[in-house]
Amino acid sequence: QSVLTQPPSASATPGQRVTISCSGSSPNIGSNTVNWYQQLPGTAPKLLIYSDDRRPSGVPDRFSGSKSGPSASLAISGLQSEDEADYYCSSWDDSLSGPVFGGGTKVTVL
């Protein structure tokens, strides 16, 4: 069981918006920033969002992150076929003294 809780799947048609939730608790999301990773099939995870809502250079502004209390969200607007991937949230956990991950959400473009 992952420390952070994500829905296993999400889907939408091209051009629509999809939102992925990530639920944690006070030692992790409640006290630390959240990062999001995108993993395309057969590849390593790629940093998508860091420090709750910041995008690394090269990540389209269709991807946005937010956080409220012990929960966070990733939104993908204007969904495109190349966005089909697994998405993982992550945060430092003060009790475990290391980063923890969600179980991942598979996004399908219908």
Partner 1 sequence: QVQLHQSGPGLLKPSQTLSLTCAISGDRVSSNSLTWNWIRQSPSRGLEWLGRTYRTAQWYTEYAVSVKGRITISPDTSNNQFSLHLGSVTPEDTAVYYCAGGLGSLRFWGPGTEVSVSS
For partner 1, the binding residue among 56, 60, 69, 78 (CB under 8 A) is 56
- Taking CB under 8 A as the rule, does residue 63 contact partner 1? no
Tell whether residue 35 is a contact of partner 1 (CB under 8 A). yes
CA distance 60 to 29: 24
Among 2, 9, 11, 80, the residue binding partner 1 under the rule CB under 8 A is 2
Told to check if 87 binds partner 1 by CB under 8 A, we report no
Q: Is 65 in the site for partner 1 (CB under 8 A)?
A: no
How many C-beta atoms surround the C-beta of residue 24 within 10 A? Answer: 25
User: Judged by CB, which is closer to partner 1: 71, or 105?
Assistant: 105
38 token code pair: 């995108």
Q: How far apart are CA 26 and CA 76, in angstroms?
A: 26
Structure tokens at 69: 């209390």
